[in-house]
Amino acid sequence: MKTKLFKASDSDIKEASEIIVNGGLVAFPTETVYGLGADGLNSEAVKKIFEAKGRPQDNPLILHISSFDMLDELAYIDERTKEFLHQFWPGALTAVLIKKETVPSIVSAGLDSVGIRMPDNEIALKLIKESKRPIAAPSANVSGYPSPTKAEHVMKDMSGRIDAIIDGGECSLGIESTVVDLRGDCPVILRPGKVTLEDIKKHYKNVRYDEALINMTMTDRPISPGQKYRHYAPSAEVLLLSCDDIRRADESIKLYMTHKNSVILALSEDIEKYAGLNFYELGSSGNPFLIMHRMFDLLRKADNDGYDYIIAPYFKKEGIYMSITNRLEKAGAYNIIEVED
């Protein structure tokens, strides 16, 4: 199959929506990462997503909607939860809710819940509106690889496997949505993103992280099936070092840093120290949004440049840094080098 590359004009989006309505696959930009979309109410179309990505069948997909009316058709939701979602949508928050019969079981991987999100991106919203149905979409990468934040990333992973890609430029955020289970009285964050625990706390005092996010081990039975896979990972091995530790790195770490086939994701403030070593500038530690924006692109770049090791900073799991560390931990399969104080 030849993958068509669309720009994002109205007629391009119309043509792309016809592909969706006819059961095809279209990758499209959102504010978080590129999604790999299919008609969310068509089981056969959704099945193609799993095939194109090589995604395990037990990992459910998110349904993307463009209006609150669509939400009512897909999930059971009370007024308080709806009011909460009005504060965050359109935006980088995925709500896990009790699903209605209309949602095919392949979308929810057989669970009785469904993840739903209204993306904050004009192209995505137009595509959903034009298609007149929810669009099921995981991140548009080959399963396990870092999420795509540019159309060229999608092209590299998906060319020949899907019908079309809409090129909407770089995703503004660059990290996937916060996934929060809103079925009980106490919301549970299953995947951290731009929307933080503190943001949700303003509405639900008792919100908490899923255990699997706090303990740094791969769990066997997380609520969110996506949590159990090695994820966001380039081919190169990722090693994590706490920011301070990079400065006080011991000999074994220095060995990695000076390994000719390793590259450091360097904080802007540390760059002078890395003269003569391979590094990419990740951004300043005080600017987490820039780090999120560049992170996946640089993991991919390291593979393209042929490096065997990537050395990345390990941030404390606090506030927005929780989300950065979550992705890097998974990219590194929890390969964290701790240096004693």
Residues in the site for Mg ion, rule: CB under 5 A? 139
User: Site size for ligand TXA, by CB under 6 A?
Assistant: 29
Region binding ligand TXA by CB under 6 A among candidate stretches 132-140, 283-291, 294-302, 322-330: 132-140
Kindly report the backbone phi and psi dihedral angles of residue 55, in degrees, each rounded to the nearest multiple of 5, phi listed first: -90, 135
Distance CA 94, CA 55 (A): 19
Question: Which partner, Mg ion, ligand TXA, none, binds residue 179 by CB below 5 to 8 Å per kind?
Answer: ligand TXA
Contact letters for ligand TXA, residues 245-284 (x by CB under 6 A): ----------------------------------------
Got the DSSP string for 205-232?
A: TT-EE-HHHHS-S--SS-SSGGGGS--S
Q: How far is CA 298 from the centre of its chain?
A: 15
Between 37 and 332, CB nearer to ligand TXA: 37
Q: Concatenated DSSP letters for 85-113?
A: HHHH-SSSEEEEEEEPTTS-TTTTTT-SE
Rounded distance, CA 88 to CA 103, Å? 23
Q: Please select the residue that binds ligand TXA; options are 96, 125, 162, 197, rule is CB under 6 A.
A: 96
Contact 127, 20 (CB under 8 A): yes
Asked whether position 30 contacts ligand TXA by CB under 6 A, the answer is yes
Name the residue nearer to ligand TXA (CB basis): 182 or 240: 182
Tokens of 190: 């299953």
Q: Which of ligand TXA, Mg ion, none has residue 191 at its interface (CB below 5 to 8 Å by kind)?
A: ligand TXA
Q: Kindly state whether residue 137 participates in binding ligand TXA, applying the rule CB under 6 A.
A: yes
Q: Tell whether residue 225 is a contact of ligand TXA (CB under 6 A).
A: yes
Residue at token pair 């929307």: 195
Our CB check for ligand TXA shows the closer of 114 and 241 to be 114
Smallest gap from Cβ 43 to ligand TXA, in A, equals 16
CB of 244 to ligand TXA, least distance (A): 31
Query: What are phi and psi for residue 143, nearest 5 degrees?
Result: -50, 130
CA 15 from chain centre, in angstroms, equals 26
DSSP 315: -
Q: Which residues bind ligand TXA (CB under 6 A)?
A: 30, 32-33, 35, 59-62, 94, 96, 108, 111, 113-115, 117, 119, 137-139, 176-177, 179, 190-191, 223-226
